[in-house]
Amino acid sequence: MGKNKILIIDDDQQICKILRDYFNYEEFEVFVAHDGREGLEKINNLEPDVIILDLMLPEKNGLDICRELKPHNQIPIIILSAKNRENDRIKGLELGADDYVTKPFSPREVVLRTKNLLRRTKSEENKEQLEFPGLIINQEQRLVEVKGEEVSLAPKEFDLLWQLASSPKTVFSREKLLELVWEFDYYGGIRTVDTHIKSIRNKLGAEVGEYIQTVWGIGYKFVD
C-alpha cells in the first residue's frame, strides 16, 4: 500500500516546513503550494488523500477553494487558519471542510487529526452496506445511491448520514452527533449539524430525505 498523499496549501513557508517535517516523519508523501491558484492546480494533478488549507491565501483564498471543491470533490479538507472567531469556523465547516484548526497550533495535533480523518474516510476495515427502499449507503466505497442514481456527499455529510442510518430510530442530540462525527472537541456550535442535515436532505431528495427526522428540542433520528 502506497503512502498517503497530503497537500499543504499555505503561504507561510515556515509553517509548511514544520508540517512537512512532521508528516514526512509519519511517512506521508507531502506536497506544498503557497497560493490558492497553485493549490487548485496541484489538487487536480495530484489528487491528494487530504488537504491542509489556509484561509488567507494570495491569488485565491481558502474559502473560495472550498466552494470550488465541495460538494462534488470527496477529498477531506482540514482548515488551518489564524481566524479563530466562531463565525469563521462555522463558515469553513458549512462550506464542506472536515476540521478546523486555529493558529498557533500543535503540529502533532494536526498530524493526529489528519490520521483520524483518513481512517474514517478510507474505511479500510469493517466494510458494510446499508440498504433501505430507494437508498443504498456503501461504507467501503463511501457511495450513496438514491433510486439507482449516485449522490455526491461531502465527507462529513457521509459520516453524519452513516451515523444516523447505522442506528435506525435512535435519537441523537446535536451535541452527541458532534462528538461522534467530528470526534474532537468542537467549539463551532451545534448549528453546523443542522446545516449538514439540511444539505444531506436536499441531496437525497424530498422522499428519501424524509428518512432523517427532526426530534424537536433534541436532535435527529433515522426512520426507514
Asked if residue 218 and residue 172 are part of one domain, the reply reads yes
Cell, residue 42: 496541484
- Report the greatest alpha carbon distance in the chain: 52
What band does 127 get if pLDDT is binned at 50, 70 and 90?
low
The pLDDT tens digits for 69-86 are: 865 577 889 998 887 777
What band does 214 get if pLDDT is binned at 50, 70 and 90?
very high
Lay out the sheet containing 212-215: strands in order across: 172-173, 219-222, 212-215
Q: Is 149 helix (H, G, I), strand (E, B) or coil?
A: strand
Asked if residue 188 and residue 112 are part of one domain, the reply reads no
Asked if residue 160 and residue 115 are part of one domain, the reply reads no
CATH number reported for the structural domain that contains residue 147 in this entry: 1.10.10.10
Q: How far apart are CA 91 and CA 97, in angstroms?
A: 9
- pLDDT at 23 > cutoff 50: yes
Asked if residue 101 and residue 51 are part of one domain, the reply reads yes
Asked if residue 150 and residue 41 are part of one domain, the reply reads no
Other beta carbons within 10 Å of 92: 25
The last residue of one of the domains, among 93, 126, 159, is: 126
Average pLDDT over residues 92-101: 82
Q: How far apart are CA 109 and CA 78, in angstroms?
A: 12
Phi, psi of 183 (to 5 degrees): 70, -55
Our count of domains for the chain comes to 2
Inter-residue contact 136 to 184 (CB < 8 Å): no
Residue 65, H or E segment: helix 62-69
The last residue of one of the domains, among 126, 149, 167, is: 126
Asked if residue 65 and residue 30 are part of one domain, the reply reads yes
Asked if residue 118 and residue 165 are part of one domain, the reply reads no
What amino acid occupies position 76? P
CATH number reported for the structural domain that contains residue 117 in this entry: 3.40.50.2300
Percentage above 90 pLDDT, the chain = 54
Give me the domain span that covers residue 172: 129-222
First to last CA, the chain: 38
- pLDDT at 202 > cutoff 70: yes
Inter-residue contact 201 to 211 (CB < 8 Å): no
Asked if residue 117 and residue 50 are part of one domain, the reply reads yes
User: Which of 3-17, 24-38, 113-127, 163-177 comes out lowest in average pLDDT?
Assistant: 113-127
What global pTM score does this model have? Answer: 0.59
Burial 127-163 (b: 16+ CB within 10 A, else e): eeebeeeebbbbbeebebebeeeebebbbbbbbbbbb
The last residue of one of the domains, among 126, 152, 171, is: 126
Among 1, 105, 108, 106, residue whose Cα is nearest residue 49: 1
Omega before residue 104 within 30° of 0, cis: yes
Asked if residue 149 and residue 120 are part of one domain, the reply reads no
Asked if residue 175 and residue 106 are part of one domain, the reply reads no
Asked if residue 147 and residue 122 are part of one domain, the reply reads no
Q: Is 172 helix (H, G, I), strand (E, B) or coil?
A: strand
Asked if residue 67 and residue 158 are part of one domain, the reply reads no
Cell, residue 44: 487536480
